[in-house]
Chain A
């Protein structure tokens, strides 16, 4: 039985923001954040379908489908075209700009405009819900995406990152490039795109975030009317299949040569325990892990400054933690003249932190820093929209972040130090400068 359409209003005192949420038949989640005084009116329409969702069960039949790498991204490109041509042009007539992007876990379609908001919203809802794939259009897109893949092949930051993911993960699809390969996308057909579309672009697997100087209920009525005329059937639960992934890394080390001025270095720690978390608990683990990394690697801490003074890093040296439902890792990286020495120094700093413990002064300072940085990022409507949806698909709420931050304690962070920064589960990826004739 379909759940009733509903509306919820929540006020977030620390943020001084009010968020409106609606459930719209047959299961679409709509979020509206009014922002007085902003010129920008921004909408992001996302499906919980990313590059890692490449193996799933077909409803009822027990049959499973395994996709070539790059289908989610390919589908994203192709939705921008229909019988009448290119969707960009229709947004352009309103002065709006439209775009889309695909991540490991989801695909987002968006527009930004200062005028004609409701016409643009209608366009967005229409083009995402009306697929049109032909042999011709698929084959033309193969040429364009091949150039996109080649562009990334020349991007050393991208290469060092995917080399690391392949070293951390033996089977999990996060090890594959989001766009796939020139070979894998050559296997994509209109029929395959339609099958994926029907599976993952049902409103029950999607969410829409709208932000700007707007009236929430008006948007609600518009979206409801748009969906009502499409006669959606209820859709069963999507069962995503992930291969068995060992706790151990694939290989401890990988390196390659490219045209770069100095080596690029990425160090990753695989976090297999992350798969046991979702919702607020996952957000909490992520927030706590970030503070942990700040305390050890942040620019206000001794390690960073010593490495900088020894010219082993530059000011872009960074450490971050990623927490998704099916994978998670800490990543530390930057450019360096001496990857081996940098590696030794980092590993011994991790060891040192375990022996000496973490200071509560540093913990409080970094917690305050994280809170302020989060508040600052609220200036960007794009930041709020994209992150709200990304956290929503992990079963949690971006706006809970300040509250979650307050719950974290030092003991919890010390436990994560042992658990996440575990030397038994790390890998290193390095890009060395290729020898070049002048």
Chain B
């Protein structure tokens, strides 16, 4: 059975969670700086990870950093932003081979933490700002990422549906911000912003591996000793409850072989709601698996799509249904999807659909324990969602949820926005 994780605070207030695990060949380190998701700061937050990675005092350029990672037996580092509900997270993670394979147990951990500590806590600062050419180059790279969303049509369609659905909410902000945010960012303003959030916002560090808790804490204290404020800012909660007045229809056209249909639903169920696990089962039965209603009816019976699924944005209480179809089949595909949602609300769920989804979800939960990253993610979800569940608690909750609760969850779900991406030849649907 898995050992207990331990949580401590470093002297500078960083919350350290250590997750002992013998089975992995690696040590995984992940640091998160929490920030609220907001249009005014999204560009600044999104730009930071790459600027930090570009240069720190210890690793002043990418070439130096990459060589250190290679010498550390091919350690992998990545700095990025994530969006979880209306939380915007800067993450800096490093995965490396465990030192036991080369007889260098602690040395490896020390060097790995030195990299994360150096990149986050000791950046390269010139004349009261980040290095100017790094900031300019990374602004250009970020602009490419923002424009590049269109290169993956499935992701693009889901993002566009969410953005139009939540146009007046913080969740509608793209995790990489907007192009127009970038021009106003200077090396000095970015540095001021970074100092402010590193000083005052919640910062968490996770370490997973075959290590001893006391030693991990001691080495983390030594390697992440930068100073921070005594008081941590508390960040606003995600707004979950929305009753759409009517269903919006949004359409976009571009030259494509396959149309993308995305339906955005409000579930009105938050992560800490007693009905949360009923919602998880609901989405599983509807479109989480190859045995689910969507796959069966849109793909296997009507032969309209290669993919058709439903997925939760669990911290926001949104459910996304998506399918890749022929534009000419739009009306039929949408009708089949909406009929499955109605069936769910009427409780027309077979025993096999319910039980297969239940054991399937339990299987997925157990599998999370085989991935250091997913273990970290589970802790992070608890932190952000305001409710921490152990794997055993989640499994029990899924086991105990019955049809009535699933129908109770279904009654709260409303279709908010329908988004269709298709080519010029596609049909002109009646806007409903």
* Residues in A lying within 8 Å of B, measured CB to CB: 14, 16, 35-40, 86, 88-89, 92-98, 112-115, 140, 143-145, 147-148, 150-151, 153-157, 258-262, 298-302, 305, 308-309, 311, 314-315, 335, 365-366, 368-376, 378-379, 381, 434, 436
B144 to A147, Cβ gap below 8 A? no
The contact of B306 among A147, A262, A300, A375, by CB within 8 Å, is A147
Contact A38/B61 with A372-B72, A376-B96 known, Cβ cut-off 8 Å = no
Contacts of A369 in B (CB 8 A): 69-71, 73-74
Q: Taking CB as reference atom, which chain A residue is nearest B146?
A: A261
Q: Which residue of A37, A93, A143, A151 contacts B303 across the interface (Cβ within 8 Å)?
A: A143
Counting CB contacts under 8 A, is B406 at the interface? no
Q: Which residues of B contact A372 (CB under 8 A)?
A: 72-75, 96-97
With beta carbons under 8 angstroms apart, the residue of A88, A147, A311 that contacts B325 is A147
Given contacts A112-B367, A154-B258, contact A371 B153 (CB under 8 A): no
Chain B residues, Cβ within 8 Å of A301: 63
Within 8 Å CB of B141, what residues of A?
311, 314-315
Contact B151 A153 (CB under 8 A): no
Tell me whether B184 is interfacial, beta carbon within 8 Å. no
Contact call A39/B370, Cβ cutoff below 8 A = yes
Contacts of B299 in A (CB 8 A): 144
Would you call A147 and B25 a contact (CB within 8 A)?
A: no
Q: Which 7 pairs show the lowest CB-CB distances between chains A and B?
A: A372-B73, A95-B359, A372-B74, A300-B66, A37-B23, A143-B303, A373-B74
CB of B360 closer than 8 Å to a CB of A: yes
**A309, B136: Cα distance in complex, Å:** 10
Determine if A154 and B257 form an interchain contact, defined as CB atoms under 8 angstroms apart.
Answer: yes
| Cβ-closest chain A residue relative to B358 | A95
Q: Are B256 and A154 in contact (CB under 8 A)?
A: yes
CB proximity of B1 to chain A, nearest CB, Å: 9
| CA distance in complex: A259, B423 (Å) | 11
Residue of A nearest to B357 (CB): A92
Task: Verify B306–A261 contact, CB threshold 8 A.
Answer: no
CB–CB B254/A436 < 8 A: yes
Any A CB within 8 A of the CB of B305: yes
Contacts between chains A and B (CB distance < 8 A), count: 185
B140, B148, B304, B370: the one contacting A147 at CB < 8 Å is: B304
Q: A157 to B155, alpha carbons, bound, how many Å?
A: 14
Task: Report B122-159 residues with CB < 8 Å from chain A CB.
Answer: 133, 137, 140-141, 144-145, 147-154
Name B residues whose Cβ lies closer than 8 Å to a Cβ of A.
21-26, 61-63, 66-67, 69-76, 95-97, 101, 133, 137, 140-141, 144-145, 147-154, 254-258, 289-291, 299-300, 303-307, 324-326, 352, 355-357, 359-360, 362-363, 366-367, 369-372
**Which residue of the partner chain A has the closest CB to B363?**
A95
Cβ A300 vs Cβ B300 within 8 A:
no
Q: How far is the CA of A95 from the CA of B372 in the complex (A)?
A: 22
- Who on chain A is nearest to B136 by CB? A311
B70 touches A366 (CB 8 A): yes
Q: Which residues from chain B contact A92 at a C-beta distance below 8 Å?
A: 289-291, 356-357, 359-360
**A88–B22 contact, CB under 8 A?**
no
Q: Smallest Cβ distance from B119 to chain A, in angstroms? A: 15
A140/B303 contact (C-beta < 8 A), A259-B255, A305-B61 known: yes
B87 to chain A, nearest CB (A): 25
Complex interface: chain B residues within 8 A of A40 (CB): 366-367, 370
Residues of A within 8 A of B72 (CB): 372
How far, in whole Å, are A199 and B70 apart by their CA atoms in the complex?
46
List 16 A–B pairs whose Cβ atoms lie within 8 Å, in order of A's numbering: A36-B23, A37-B21, A88-B289, A89-B356, A93-B356, A94-B359, A95-B356, A144-B305, A147-B326, A154-B153, A259-B254, A305-B61, A365-B71, A368-B73, A375-B97, A434-B255
Cβ distance B185 to chain A, nearest Cβ, rounded Å: 17
- Once the chains bind, are B137 and A309 in contact (CB under 8 Å)? yes
A245 to chain B, nearest CB (A): 30
**Interchain CB contact under 8 A, A95 and B256:** no
> Which of B25, B66, B76, B363 touches A113 (beta carbons < 8 Å)?
B363
Whether B257 pairs with A305 at a CB distance below 8 angstroms is no
A375 pairs with B25, CB closer than 8 A:
yes
Beta-carbon contact of B74 and A376 below 8 Å: yes
Q: Which residues of B contact A309 (CB under 8 A)?
A: 133, 137
